[in-house]
Amino acid sequence: MDGNSSKSSRRGHRVESSLMKRLAMGQMTTPEYNEWWVRRINDNTPKPS
């Protein structure tokens, strides 16, 4: 494996683990919380200038 592929797999694992936590919490979340979470994620994405 070269250095680049290990970096990208680590980044993918972080996203995957946060997604797994969210799925595990799915039973406890409310629609309001879900809307807040989606807005929070969208606010973190870079917007084209």
Q: Rounded mean pLDDT of 29-45?
A: 79
**What's the pLDDT score for residue 38?**
83
What 3 state SS string does the chain have?
CCHHHHHHHHHHHHHHHHHHHHHHHCCCCCHHHHHHHHHHHHHHCCCCC
**What's the pLDDT score for residue 6?**
46
Is the pLDDT confidence value at 39 over 80? yes
**What's the pLDDT score for residue 12?**
58
Residue with tokens 């799925």: 23
Q: Rounded mean pLDDT of 28-49?
A: 76
User: Is the whole-model pTM more than 0.85?
Assistant: no
Is the pLDDT confidence value at 34 over 70? yes
